C-alpha cells in the first residue's frame, strides 16, 4: 500500500507543479491545492499505514496508528484552506484592478 501511495503522491505532485507553472492565475491556485493534497498524503504515508487502530483511547486499547502525523496534517489542512482563500481573493482583486488573469501580463512594477 505504501508504494502505491507514493506513486499516487508523485502523480499528484507532478500535476500540481504543472498547474503551478501555468500562466493562468486560477490554474496556479488549483495547482497549490493539488500540491497540498499530495503533501498531506505524503506525511500520512511516512508514518506507516494501517499499523494500528484509530487513535481514540475510548475505542481501543492499542496498538494505535501514529497520531502525530495526523495532528500535523490537521494543522496543514486548515492552513492550506486559509492560503487558498487568500489566494482566491487576491486573484479576484488582481483581475478587478488590472483586467487580466495572465501572470505574464501582470509582471513588472509601475516604477520600473
> For residues 10-69, which are near another protein according to CB under 8 A?
10-24, 26-28, 30, 33-34, 37-38, 40-42, 44-58, 62, 64-68
**C-alpha span between 5 and 9 (Å, rounded):** 6
Decide if residue 111 touches another protein (CB under 8 A).
no
| Inter-residue contact 90 to 11 (CB < 8 Å) | no
Query: Which candidate, 84, 86, 67, 68, places its Cα nearest to that of 31?
Result: 84
Decide if residue 91 touches another protein (CB under 8 A).
yes
To another protein, the closest distance from the beta carbon of 22 in angstroms equals: 6
To another protein, the closest distance from the beta carbon of 105 in angstroms equals: 10
**C-alpha span between 103 and 87 (Å, rounded):** 13
To another protein, the closest distance from the beta carbon of 52 in angstroms equals: 7
To another protein, the closest distance from the beta carbon of 70 in angstroms equals: 5
Amino acid at each position: 500500500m505504501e508504494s502505491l501511495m507514493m506513486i499516487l503522491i508523485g502523480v499528484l505532485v507532478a500535476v500540481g507543479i504543472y498547474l503551478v507553472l501555468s500562466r493562468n492565475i486560477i490554474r496556479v491556485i488549483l495547482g497549490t491545492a493539488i500540491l497540498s493534497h499530495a503533501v498531506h498524503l505524503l506525511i500520512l504515508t511516512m508514518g506507516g499505514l494501517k499499523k494500528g487502530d484509530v487513535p481514540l483511547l475510548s475505542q481501543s486499547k492499542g496498538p494505535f496508528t501514529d497520531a502525530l502525523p495526523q495532528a500535523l496534517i490537521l494543522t496543514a489542512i486548515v492552513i492550506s484552506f486559509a492560503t487558498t482563500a487568500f489566494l482566491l481573493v487576491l486573484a479576484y482583486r488582481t483581475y478587478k484592478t488590472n483586467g487580466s488573469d495572465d501572470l505574464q501580463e501582470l509582471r513588472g512594477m509601475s516604477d520600473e
